A and B are shown apart, each in its own frame.
Chain A
Amino acid sequence: SQKIEQNSEALNIQEGKTATLTCNYTNYSPAYLQWYRQDPGRGPVFLLLIRENEKEKRKERLKVTFDTTLKQSLFHITASQPADSATYLCALGSGGSYIPTFGRGTSLIVHP
Chain B
Amino acid sequence: GAVVSQHPSRVICKSGTSVKIECRSLDFQATTMFWYRQFPKQSLMLMATSNEGSKATYEQGVEKDKFLINHASLTLSTLTVTSAHPEDSSFYICSAVGVAGGIPQETQYFGPGTRLLVL
The residues of A with any CB-CB pair to B shorter than 8 Å are 8, 32, 34, 36, 41-46, 49, 89, 93, 98-100, 102-105
Contact = CB atoms under 8 A, between A and B. Distances in A.
Query: Main SS of the interface on chain A?
Result: loop
Query: Main SS of the interface on chain B?
Result: strand
A44 B110 contact: yes
Residues of B in contact with A, size category: 20 to 34
A46 B32 CA distance: 17
Contacts, number: 51
Given A49-B107, A93-B106, A98-B32, A42 B42 contact: no
A34 B34 CA distance: 17
Q: Which of B32, B49, B105, B113 has the most CB of A within 10 A?
A: B113
Interface string B61-96: 000000000000000000000000000000101110
A46 B93 CA distance: 14
B41 A32 contact: no
Contacts of B94: 43
Nearest to A44: B110
